[in-house]
Structure 1
Amino acid sequence: MLTRFSFEKLSECTEGFSKKLGDGGFGSVFQGELGEEKVAVKRLEGARQGKKEFLAEVETIGSIEHINLVRLIGFCAEKSERLLVYEYMSRGSLDRWIYYRHNNAPLDWCTRSRIILDIAKGLCYLHEECRHIIAHLDIKPQNILLDDNFNAKVADFGLCKLINRDQSNFGVVLMEIVSGRKNIDNSQPEEDVQLINLLREKAQNNHLIDLIDRHVEDMVSHQEEVIQMMKLAIWCLQHDSILRPSMSTVIKALEGAISIETLDTNSVMPVQDNPSTYSVTSQASMLSGPR
C-alpha cells in the first residue's frame, strides 16, 4: 500500500528540499529520511493532470513491483504540488558512471553487461508481463539507478503519461554503456557528435571495435562480447519497428539462449538519430513490444 504524505511532511524529511540528488525531465529529486529509512523525493514539474487522474496513475505505478524497477513508496498531492517518494538508490544514476564526469571508477565489462541485462528485465516486465502494460518512453542513463552492488533498476516508468513524453530507444542506452559516451556529444568532432550515426558508419565499415570504451582495459580484453552487444543494439535500432526484437527476445540474446552472431550489420542499419532529442521519437502505440 502506498503512503500518502503531506507536503509539510516531505518538506520536513528533505530539510526543506535542500539535499538535491539530481534534476530530470520530470522534476528535481531530493534526498530525505523517513525515520531511519533514506528515500528519494521527486518533486514533479509540468504535471498537468487533475488530482483524480494523478491519483489513478500513481495507484497504477504503485501496484507494479519487480526487482529491476525502482519501488514507489508514497506520494503527495496538495494544491498544485505533485510529489513521489521512492526507495533510495545509493550509487545514483547510471550516467554518473559511464560519462566520466564525476571521477567515479570506470565500470568493468562484467558490471556493464549485468546492468544491461537488469535494464532489459525491468523493461520486459513493464512491456510484456505486468498487469498494466506500460511503455517506458524516457529510457536513458539518468533514469537507470544503481544500488550498493551496482544492481540496476529502471526509474520514472509511467511518468510519461503524467508529463506527456514520447521518446524511447533501449538500443541507444546500450550503446552509451558500451562506448562510455553520450548519444549526442558536442565535445566530439562534428562527424562524431551523434553516436547512432557513428554506429551506422562503423557497422558499414566493419569497425565496431572503434566504439568500445577505451577507459577500461577490461572492455578491450572482452572486445568480442562487446561487439556482439553492439550488434544487439543495432537489432534494437532497426528502421522497421516490426523487425526489432521484443524485450523477452533481447533477454534471451543477453543470456546466450539465442545467437546474434549471424546478424548482418550491413543490411540491418540503425535508425537515423535526431540531434534535437535524446533519442528517436516513436509513437507510443509502437512501444509495447520492442525496445
Structure 2
Amino acid sequence: PPSLCPQLASAGTFRVVKEPLAFLRVLEWLFAIFAFATCGGYSGGLRLSVDCANKSESDLNIDIAFAYPFRLHQVNFDAPTCEGKRREKLSLIGDFSSSAEFFVTIAVFAFLYSLAATVVYIFFQNKYRENNRGPLIDFIVTVVFSFLWLVGSSAWAKGLSDVKIATDPDEVLLLMSACKQQSNKCLPVRSPVMSSLNTSVVFGFLNFILWAGNIWFVFKETGWHSSGQRHPPDTMEKQSSSYNQGGYNQDSYGPAGGYNQPGSYGQVGDYGQPQSYGQSGPTSFANQI
C-alpha cells in the first residue's frame, strides 16, 4: 500500500548507506552478481575443419560447444577419420567443475549476505548494535568471506587457464586421428570467446579487495575497537585524580609549617631588630642619673 512506503522510509535510516560500512556492502552485493553471472552463465564453443585427401570424407564445420561448470570430459563430438565414411567419437579433456562451482557458490552466498547485512544496517540498526553481538558476527563473517574470495578467485583463475588450454583448437585437433596424417589438412575455424570468464576472475579479486577493505570498518563497530580506545584515557584520568587527591597539591607546607611564612623569622627575637641595642643603653643610663 502507498502508506507503507513512508513508514519504511521513516523507520529505516537510509543515511547509513552513505557511510563506508554500508556503502561497501552495496558494492559487494553488486560485484557478487557480476562474478557469478559472468562465470555461471557462460556458454561457448569452437569450430574445427578437417579437409581429407578424399574430399568426400571431409568435414569443414565441426562444432564443439561447452558451458559452465566445464566438465569438458563429458563434451563429445564426432570427427572424420578420412578412412572411408567411418567417423570417430571424441571428447574434450579435463574436469574443471570444482573450481568453477566453488567460485560461483562463494559469489551466491556473498550476494545473499551482503543483501541481508544492508537491510539490517538500514532497518535494524538498534538490534544490530545490541549487546555488540551484531558487529562481532559481522566482523567474523567478513573475515571468512575475504579469505574465501581470495582462495576461490585464485583457484578459478588457475581453472580458467586450464580450460583455455583444453579448449584451444590446436590442442583439440591433436586428438583427431585424421590430423596425424600429413595428407589431411586440419585447421581451426573459430576459437572460443573467453572475455566473460576473464571478467569473472577480475570481479573475483575485486570482491576480495572490497571484503578485505571492509574488515576495518566492521572492526570499528565492534567493542574491541571502542574498548581499545577508551582504556588509555581512563588510565590517565585515574592517575591524574590520584595525584590531585594526594598531598602534593594541597599546600600542606604553607599553612601548617613555617616554610611559606618567611616573615616569622623577622618578627621573632632580637635578631630581627638590631636597633634595640642602641635604644636600651642610653635610656637606662639617664634613669640612673
Q: TM-score, normalised by structure 2?
A: 0.26
- Is the helix fraction higher in 1 or 2? 2
